[in-house]
Structure 1
């Protein structure tokens, strides 16, 4: 299947990256290179674009789409959490900007065998990096009821988490759960009919929670933002698009901590901890898609873009 992914908030991302034509820019979630192509169009032959993705299909598609653009291009199969070691291998000390588009791509959702979608019956997988061995099947069949309830409630913000977990545990006593279709049926039976009449697909939140757990998405995000800021040149920018309230909260709180790191008690007349701000938050409120973009790409509906700039001058 061709790797199709419509870049979300594209113009807003390019505008906020403030691209210097000869600079070094990183897309940590390269995907099909929709944002990457736009970044490369703003770079000269002296510039350098680095694209990172852990998905094998994304890497192959991006390499084709980025051919022929002016800057030096490095496409790397890895996770953006390893940004410091990636740059070290490339012998790069600092970059001028980095972009992240969090969550699952349209291609991953639309490729049935990946098991990301509750709309198709497929093996329970949900790995963004198929080199890993841990899958959604392991979670559904081996996590305790308490563990399942915790991740479905926390990562999926699912009201019926405990009931869904109970139905999963009861079902697997007699038969291993192997497919997305089986899991969807279990979830539908667990959620009362009245509660299923309105709102999103009844399996949406549970699938989201399991995907986040399989790929360790939130912990990776928490660990990565400060590392990315450390890698930026003064005035370099970090742009992050999130699609989930927990992701957005992590980005927001981490940005706030980096902008105001002082840990002194409020009653202190002046700061004595000597922790200095690392960034300036550019977007006091997140940038969201326009009505026109939502009309053309409904999957953009929950997208939020937050931007910060490294403090200092060149």
Structure 2
């Protein structure tokens, strides 16, 4: 059953007050422009529009249903709010289409939105049986079922290990490939049943729900979350005006690591060792506003358990670099994400055909054998 309650009742923005405090110096000036790069159901955007009456907000999301619901929630703010259907790594194009080059504030909430978690037909939740979709933008791209039914054992193992940090990745991958030969995976319930059988009971007692890590890994793969975030953080820093501020909420170590690396690069002098004087173009172009990663307090986690794994980092742009900021960030984050991109499945149509023929042959053999 799909939850169709009001958007403001279905989404609780995490660490909203702290984020607003961090952004305040950049957004308090009349005419300021803020981008919510992961609009979701509009909780953070509503906070910005309410607290800073002279500020305009551009809300970006790849999920059309989220844009519709957020638009309803924020309709009272009139033309101060502009919803845009795009991915968060398309900020430069979004701003160009709006006649802008730079903005004063940016927020990214990298968690799965309450809409996606609560919509049972999206396949994000492992506690209900639903089609294995998991696409944040349901108009394009492969589904989780496509991944499960076409990836090799090696590729399934890789994504479970790298994106889900799943100890039993290989064991799960072998079971998935074996079972899909009889019938392709179509629903989350069947996958959960497999995981309950494959993952040792002792591990399930210690690590919580057995499907948690596998579902996370599939979601990241289906939506290219790490590749998209690698591009998005570079693009966001590049369009941030001097004096502008950017806040990022991440919910697992891989995204937080990319954020930390990009922010640290910008907040560190690039002067070569031994150079007696730091030249202007070597000076940092970012200033850290948080000491490491901040976390929600106990009261917020108690009120909203989904906040438990949140980590908040924020920076201020302190000097202009032209186009070099995004170039530098891209080179640095490549070191972290290169292997994941390079190892994405590269299956030719010929190899897919060969696999299909092999599966068909095995099925025919079974049908002709006595039981």
Question: Is structure 2 residue 301 aligned with structure 1 residue 301?
Answer: no
SS in structure 2 at match of 1:31: coil
Q: Distance in 2 between matches of 1:62 and 1:288?
A: 26
Does structure 2 retain, via aligned residues, the 8 Å contact 1:263–1:273? Answer: no
Aligned residues: 311
Q: What corresponds to 2:44 in structure 1?
A: 35
Specify whether residues 141 and 17 from structure 1 end up closer, same or farther in structure 2 by C-alpha distance, changes over 3 A only.
same
Question: Is structure 2 residue 152 aligned with structure 1 residue 152?
Answer: no
Q: Distance in 1 between matches of 2:283 and 2:151?
A: 43
Does structure 2 retain, via aligned residues, the 8 Å contact 1:43–1:70? Answer: no
Question: Is structure 2 residue 207 aligned with structure 1 residue 188?
Answer: no
Q: Distance in 2 between matches of 1:158 and 1:269?
A: 48
SS in structure 2 at match of 1:197: helix
Question: Is structure 2 residue 182 aligned with structure 1 residue 174?
Answer: yes
Question: Is structure 2 residue 94 aligned with structure 1 residue 104?
Answer: no
Q: Distance in 2 between matches of 1:298 and 1:312?
A: 38
Q: Distance in 1 between matches of 2:68 and 2:163?
A: 30
Q: What corresponds to 2:66 in structure 1?
A: 58
Alpha-carbon deviations, 1:212-265, whole Å to 9, x = none?
00000011111111211111111100100000111111111111112126273x
SS in structure 2 at match of 1:6: coil
Q: Distance in 1 between matches of 2:142 and 2:155?
A: 16
Name the structure where helix makes up a greater proportion of residues.
Answer: 2
Residue 282 (structure 1) aligned to one of 289, 298, 313:
289
Root mean square deviation, CA, Å: 1.8
Alpha-carbon deviations, 1:192-226, whole Å to 9, x = none?
11211122211100100000000000111111112
SS in structure 2 at match of 1:127: coil
Alpha-carbon deviations, 1:74-115, whole Å to 9, x = none?
111111110000000000121100000002112211111000
Q: What corresponds to 1:8 in structure 2?
A: 14
Q: For structure 1, list consecutive stretches of 5 or more residues without a partner in the other structure.
A: none
Does structure 1 retain, via aligned residues, the 8 Å contact 2:141–2:222? Answer: no
Deviates more, 1:126-135 or 1:206-215: 126-135
Q: Distance in 1 between matches of 2:183 and 2:275?
A: 62
Question: Is structure 2 residue 105 aligned with structure 1 residue 90?
Answer: no
Deviation at 1:28, TM superposition (A): 0.7
Deviation at 1:286, TM superposition (A): 1.3
Q: TM-score, length-normalised on structure 2?
A: 0.80
Q: Distance in 2 between matches of 1:236 and 1:42?
A: 17
Q: What corresponds to 1:77 in structure 2?
A: 85
Q: What corresponds to 2:352 in structure 1?
A: none
Does structure 2 retain, via aligned residues, the 8 Å contact 1:26–1:97? Answer: yes
Deviation at 1:34, TM superposition (A): 0.7
Does structure 2 retain, via aligned residues, the 8 Å contact 1:262–1:273? Answer: no
SS in structure 2 at match of 1:198: helix
Correspondences of 1:255-266 after superposition (within 5 Å): 255-260=263-268, 262=270, 264=272, 266=273
Deviation at 1:274, TM superposition (A): 5.0
Q: What corresponds to 1:127 in structure 2?
A: 135
SS in structure 1 at match of 2:77: coil
Q: TM-score, length-normalised on structure 1?
A: 0.94
Specify whether residues 226 and 133 from structure 1 end up closer, same or farther in structure 2 by C-alpha distance, changes over 3 A only.
closer
Question: Is structure 2 residue 253 aligned with structure 1 residue 245?
Answer: yes
Deviation at 1:70, TM superposition (A): 6.5
